[in-house]
Amino acid sequence: MNHLILIIMFIGIAESLYGILEFFSGHRHILNLDMKALISSVTGTFINRNYFAGYLLMIIPLSVGYFFSRETFQRSRFMGWQHRVSSLDGKALLIAFGTILMILGLLFSASRMGIVSLLVSFSLITFLFRESQKRERFTKTIVLIFSLALLWAVWIGLDAVISRFFSISESFEERWMIWKNTFQIFKDFPLIGSGLGTFVHVFPMYRSFHIRGLVTHAENDFLQLTSEVGLIGTGLLLILFLLLFFNVISGISSMSRRDSQRYIGIGGLVGILALMFHSLVERNIQVPANAFLFTFLWAVVLRISTKETRETR
């Protein structure tokens, strides 16, 4: 499993590095496609900044969890700061640098909700990874990693990212209109919905505003899903999610803080929650790459939690 996690991390780092180089070099190609007219931020190979941000939102917490699970880091967790740093091997330092690079890529994606979701996920991890025996309020290592990435981003320049937050009202107004019309679909098909995958065909009949092009998604994965499968389908999926979620929470909470798998499990779970939070205002789970990684994270956290449950019986 660790080898698969390393592959996922490598893909995230490669996507970030590729996106950063293409954007700041001015080349602005995605593979062999000239995208100068469309790309205004770092997007990796995703074209859409928000899908790229959603992808990294899952990998970054998992990478942090893997960094904390490293044996060299585990041996030094109860030592002083100088011993902790000196004990890190080259692989651990490479993981930390790769995580910083992915944070940098997400920041320069200029995805507003992606950045907010990153802040929320890091706040959650700093709280969950703290050492209760040492009465820590938060984990200083994670704060250091994020601070280094932020300082690097400030040194490069965050003007374009900051300006995106000042234009949030225009984007939100359009989303709000889509949400209102999507909710109307749900009101007309409350129990079983309009049918899975029918949104793009049904929405034009409910659209109450002018927009160039075709609205292919509701800018909210959960609202769109509810309009397509209704209360029955949404209720069944919600029950399944709650069962899996509390099973994972129960398994991870019973693990020792010295168990390296605990940190990977928490990182994977935070990545899942970060993508779901981001999906409140975006389409993420419908993107194949993000959906695959989302499923992979569920498989990781379920395997870790059920393994712990079996061992405690």
Collapsed DSSP state (helix, strand, coil) of residue 297: helix
Number of domains within the chain: 1
Residue 2's closest CA among 102, 53, 71, 88?
Answer: 71
Residue found by looking up tokens 């075709």 in the block: 214
The whole-number average pLDDT for the span 217-243 is: 95
Instruction: Name the pLDDT band for 166 (thresholds 50, 70, 90).
Output: confident
* Distance between CA atoms of residues 44 and 109, nearest Å: 9
What residues make up the domain containing 67? 2-166+259-277
142 falls within a domain: yes
298 falls within a domain: no
Q: Which pLDDT does position 129 carry in this prediction?
A: 82
40 falls within a domain: yes
286 falls within a domain: no
- Its pTM surpasses 0.85: yes
Residue 59's closest CA among 300, 305, 308, 307?
Answer: 300
* Tokens encoding 43: 């997007």
Q: Which pLDDT does position 72 carry in this prediction?
A: 45
Share of the chain above pLDDT 90, in %: 58
| Interval 276-289: pLDDT, tens | 999 999 999 999 99
Q: Residues 74-105, buried b or exposed e (16+ Cβ, 10 A)? A: bebeeeeeeebeebbeeebeebbebbbbbbbb
Share of the chain above pLDDT 70, in %: 88
The whole-number average pLDDT for the span 142-155 is: 89
Side chain identity at residue 146, one-letter code: F
Nearest 5°: the CA angle 291, 296, 300 is 150
197 falls within a domain: no
* Distance between CA atoms of residues 274 and 268, nearest Å: 10
Q: What is the largest CA-CA distance in the chain?
A: 65
107 falls within a domain: yes
Residue found by looking up tokens 């942090």 in the block: 64
The whole-number average pLDDT for the span 46-56 is: 94
26 falls within a domain: yes
78 falls within a domain: yes
Q: Residues 163-184, buried b or exposed e (16+ Cβ, 10 A)? A: ebeeeeeeeeeeeebbbebbeb
